[in-house]
């Protein structure tokens, strides 16, 4: 609900602060007093185009601040603000501010945080509906008609939304499977070749490391054997060290009896011969251990090089070849099973599409039923509003399949025919602005319990009518104000008498500067203003009496 409006330097308004209550607020004043300026100022705060012509002459900027009652959790405006990263303290009024400079530049703020004009418009649309002769928002926009009909008929969309989600998920899975199968089929020849190539090599996990270690040991053994051959040449043979040591021992054996030291030397040489023999045995065993088959080394090297070359070809580690073979084999098997898999997915798509169709058909039937009820409700409101020759119809028509969605398969639009035999057309195509406003009122009254903005503004909805029709308009506005705040710019005393809050707009001039002002009227002032609306500039006692009677009827 709009609680306050502060305007500074907008056209003829120098400074204006207004407070609003719930119920029906009426704004009256003589023609040309500036009622449209008030609505233009509010529209500016709610994201309308920033026109530098709104800036009062002699000033550099215009400012408008609109305050709204704290919003309840779940309000659409709070969702928009949350998406935009604007924080609003729970329980605090929502304040929207807009400034326009003389050069046309503008700045917007919500809760004292910068906000774009687009965000002001989106948030403003959830807070205020402005219905004027050329307004193209709210009820006039066919894009919102389907949601209004669903709310009016209390139609549950969950079944359709769920079945639509399942259908789209099935279609996505099918499309992905087809793409995978198409790619795999195109690679069938490559897969067959790669599988055969890797399978022929039959790689095993850890094989590269084992082969590399065996190759390294063999290469090391070859080097050591060469070294051992040199040692053997020094030790073995008739001229070798061991043969010389044995010859020396035999000679000492003949001399040992001649001197004790010879005997000691002989004993040492004997021990050396024993140690040398043991060393010779160890060398023999080492030679046996290091001996390898060159053909085996060739086989190991060939196997190792083949593994590594194949790994490079497939851009994997050599130890990953076995896993790659499994993966390629699985992909090849998937090709063979692909047709059956596609058939299963196609069956799932068909089932889910059928389920969606059934849910959409049930939704369509519910909408048709709700449309008939809404048509009847609107029709009952037309005659009292001097629209008895007009007809209203809620069109529920099928959408092209490409446009089906979680909201069903219907396009909904409110249509009117202003004269018997005239074709039905959209609300925005009606010729008369006054008729349009009354149609909107009839529709809004019929949708009184359906969501929408908490504040509704009607601009001169009573234009061109009077008497009983004006009374009917006033009665319906009053009824509608029971469920939300209404502000009405009116020239009709019958409508003004219905107001629970009355504002008079007047223009004054000091001879050089004209100013527009607005003030809230008390009961006596209301009677005087309504009497003026009845009789014109010269207010008669009879007009005052009639004004009193109108106010008493209310």
| pLDDT tens digits, one per residue of 462-482 | 776 777 888 888 888 888 888
Q: What is the pLDDT of residues 482-496, one digit of tens each?
A: 888 999 988 889 999
Q: Is the pLDDT of residue 254 over 80?
A: no
> Which of 521, 543, 541 is closest to 531 using CA atoms?
543
What mean pLDDT is predicted for residues 339-351?
A: 87
Q: What are phi and psi of 31, to 5 degrees?
A: -60, 130
For position 68, what pLDDT does the model report?
94
Bridge partners of 391, per DSSP, are: 417
Whether 221 maps to a domain, the answer reads yes
Whether 279 maps to a domain, the answer reads yes
What mean pLDDT is predicted for residues 10-23?
A: 90
Q: Is the pLDDT of residue 188 over 90?
A: no
Q: What is the pLDDT of residues 91-136, one digit of tens each?
A: 899 999 999 998 888 999 999 999 999 999 999 988 998 876 545 4
For position 466, what pLDDT does the model report?
74
Whether 236 maps to a domain, the answer reads yes
Q: Please give the model's pTM, rounded to 2 decimal places.
A: 0.61
Average pLDDT across the chain, whole number: 84
Query: How many domains are contained in the chain?
Result: 1
Whether 201 maps to a domain, the answer reads yes
In contact, 490 and 464? CB cutoff 8 Å: no
Q: What is the pLDDT of residues 61-86, one digit of tens each?
A: 999 999 999 998 888 899 899 999 99
Bridge partners of 516, per DSSP, are: 507
Whether 345 maps to a domain, the answer reads no
For position 368, what pLDDT does the model report?
96
For position 136, what pLDDT does the model report?
46
- Report how far residue 367's alpha carbon sits from residue 106's, in angstroms, rounded to the nearest whole number: 44
What mean pLDDT is predicted for residues 35-47?
A: 87
Whether 288 maps to a domain, the answer reads yes
User: Which domain, by its residues, includes 264?
Assistant: 190-331
Q: Which long-range contacts (CB under 8 A, 24 or more apart) does 166-171 make?
A: 166/352, 166/355, 166/356, 167/349, 167/352, 167/353, 167/355, 167/356, 169/352, 170/345, 170/348, 170/349, 170/351, 170/352, 170/353, 171/349
In contact, 13 and 34? CB cutoff 8 Å: yes
Q: What are phi and psi of 451, to 5 degrees?
A: -10, -140
Whether 259 maps to a domain, the answer reads yes
Confidence of residue 319 (pLDDT cuts 50, 70, 90): confident
For position 25, what pLDDT does the model report?
93
Write b or e for each residue in 501-521: b if 16 or more Cβ atoms lie within 10 A of its Cβ, otherwise e: bbbbbebeeeeeeebbbbeeb
Residue 379's CB: how many other CB atoms inside 10 A?
17
What single string gives the DSSP state of each residue in 512-533? S-EEEEEEE--HHHHHHHHHHH
Whether 316 maps to a domain, the answer reads yes
């Amino acid at each position: 609900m709009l609680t306050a409006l502060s305007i500074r330097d907008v056209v003829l308004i120098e400074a204006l602060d207004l407070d609003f209550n719930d119920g029906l607020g009426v704004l009256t004043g003589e023609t040309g007093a500036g009622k449209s300026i008030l609505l233009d100022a509010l529209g500016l705060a709610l994201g309308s185009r920033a026109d530098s012509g709104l800036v009062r002459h002699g000033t550099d900027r215009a400012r408008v601040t609109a305050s709204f009652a704290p919003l309840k959790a779940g309000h659409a405006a709070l969702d928009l603000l949350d998406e935009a990263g604007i924080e609003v303290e729970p329980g605090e009024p929502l304040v929207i501010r807009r400034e326009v400079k003389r050069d046309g530049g503008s700045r917007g703020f919500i809760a004292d945080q910068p906000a774009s004009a687009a965000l002001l418009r989106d948030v403003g649309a959830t807070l205020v509906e402005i219905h004027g002769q050329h307004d193209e928002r709210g009820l006039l926009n066919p894009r919102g008609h389907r949601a209004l009909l669903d709310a009016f008929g209390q139609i549950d969309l969950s079944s359709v939304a769920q079945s639509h989600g399942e259908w789209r998920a099935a279609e996505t899975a099918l499309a992905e499977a087809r793409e995978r199968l198409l790619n795999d089929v195109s690679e069938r020849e490559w897969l067959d070749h790669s599988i055969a190539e890797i399978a022929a090599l039959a790689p095993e996990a850890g094989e590269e490391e084992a082969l590399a270690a065996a190759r390294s040991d063999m290469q090391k053994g070859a080097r050591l054997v060469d070294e051992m051959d040199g040692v053997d040449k020094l030790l073995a043979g008739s001229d070798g060290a061991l043969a010389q040591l044995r010859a020396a021992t035999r000679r000492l054996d003949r001399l040992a009896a001649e001197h004790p030291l010879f005997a000691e030397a002989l004993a040492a040489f004997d021990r050396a011969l024993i140690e040398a023999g043991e060393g010779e045995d160890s060398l023999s065993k080492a030679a046996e251990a290091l001996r390898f088959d060159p053909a085996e080394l060739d086989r190991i090297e060939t196997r190792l090089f083949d593994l590594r070359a194949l790994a490079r070809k497939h851009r994997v580690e050599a130890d990953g070849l076995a896993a790659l073979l499994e993966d390629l084999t699985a992909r090849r098997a998937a090709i063979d099973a692909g047709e059956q898999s596609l058939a299963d997915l196609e069956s799932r798509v068909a089932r889910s599409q059928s389920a969606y169709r059934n849910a959409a058909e049930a939704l369509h039937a519910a909408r048709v039923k709700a449309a008939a009820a809404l048509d009847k409700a609107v029709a009952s409101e037309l005659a009292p509003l001097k629209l008895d020759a007009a007809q209203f119809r809620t069109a529920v028509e099928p959408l092209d399949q490409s446009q089906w969605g979680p909201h069903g398969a219907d396009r909904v639009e409110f249509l009117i025919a202003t004269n018997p035999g005239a074709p039905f057309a959209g609300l925005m195509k009606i010729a008369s602005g006054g008729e349009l406003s009354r149609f909107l009122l009839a529709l809004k009254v019929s949708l009184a319990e359906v969501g929408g903005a908490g504040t509704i503004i009607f601009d001169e909805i009573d234009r061109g009518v009077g008497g009983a029709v004006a009374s009917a308009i006033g009665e319906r506005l009053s009824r509608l104000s029971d469920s939300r705040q209404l502000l009405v710019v009116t020239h009709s005393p019958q409508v003004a008498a219905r107001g629970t809050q009355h504002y008079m707009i007047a223009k004054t001039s000091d001879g050089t500067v004209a100013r527009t002002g607005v003030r809230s009227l008390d009961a006596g002032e209301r009677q005087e203003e309504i009497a003026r609306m009845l009789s014109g500039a010269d207010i008669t006692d009879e007009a005052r009496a009639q004004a009193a009677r109108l106010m008493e009827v209310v």
